[in-house]
Amino acid sequence: MIRVSIFDDNDSLRETLALIFDATDDLITTGLYANALDVVQAVQRDSPDVILMDIDMPGRTGIEAVQLIREQLTTSGVALPKILMLTVFDDVERIFAAISAGAVGYLLKKTPADKIIDSIREVMNGGAAMTPSIALKVLESFRPQPKSPAITYPLTDKENEVLYRLVEGDSYKLIAFHCGISMGTVRTHIVNIYEKLHVNSKSEAVAKALKTGLFRS
């Protein structure tokens, strides 16, 4: 039986999906939430195998929630759930931010319920589920752009090093260790990186670094 939790501020969608899942032989709904403010505690309490995560929710975005789950539960002994984004947003920046944060799939809300169920089973079997139009955008983003000049940002050498560590998925503590600086200095560099890249979160910074090829060899 696949245990599924749903985080979405659309009450009707949340309840409808729960009814459909609970009527499916191999699925059971373990938690329904209108926001992700207490997402870590909810995951620890419900032990879902798969999470359906909206992006635009009050208090904390779904992308921030995915990042928080990965950061706080990776070393806690709690099995990390597979996280499927379920959203209306189809822009490349959010797609990359979600994947960089730790999501294993990205579905649009127009996806039929039977396809959502298939996607849940797919990620449980080790796959990466995406709405076809989203998968196409991901592929297109990796295609080389001929004669396109590299995008550069005025980052210092140390800021580049810190950003590289963010892309690698390091925690602030690990970044401080690898870069030989204090946690406070790490935070200062990250604030400067956000300002220079015109982003507001770690996942957005990582997404922009990947999208613009800042570390492309």
- Residue 142 pLDDT > 70, yes or no? no
> Residue 2 has what pLDDT?
97
Instruction: Express each pLDDT in 172-210 by its tens digit.
Output: 889 999 899 999 999 999 999 999 998 888 888 888 888
CATH architecture assignment, domain 157-212:
Orthogonal Bundle (1.10)
52, β-bridge pairs: 6, 84
d(CA 64, CA 57): 10
Q: What is the model's pTM?
A: 0.67
Q: Are 114 and 157 in contact (CB under 8 A)?
A: no
Name the average pLDDT for the chain. 89
CATH architecture assignment, domain 2-142:
3-Layer(aba) Sandwich (3.40)
Residue ranges of the chain assigned to CATH 1.10.10.10? 157-212
> Residue 149 has what pLDDT?
53
- Average pLDDT over every residue of 36-46: 94
More confident site: 183 or 148: 183
> Residue 217 has what pLDDT?
39
Q: Which of 16-20, 91-95, 149-153, 165-169 has the highest mean pLDDT?
A: 16-20
More confident site: 211 or 174: 174
- Residue 83 pLDDT > 60, yes or no? yes
- Residue 106 pLDDT > 90, yes or no? yes
Residue ranges of the chain assigned to CATH 3.40.50.2300? 2-142
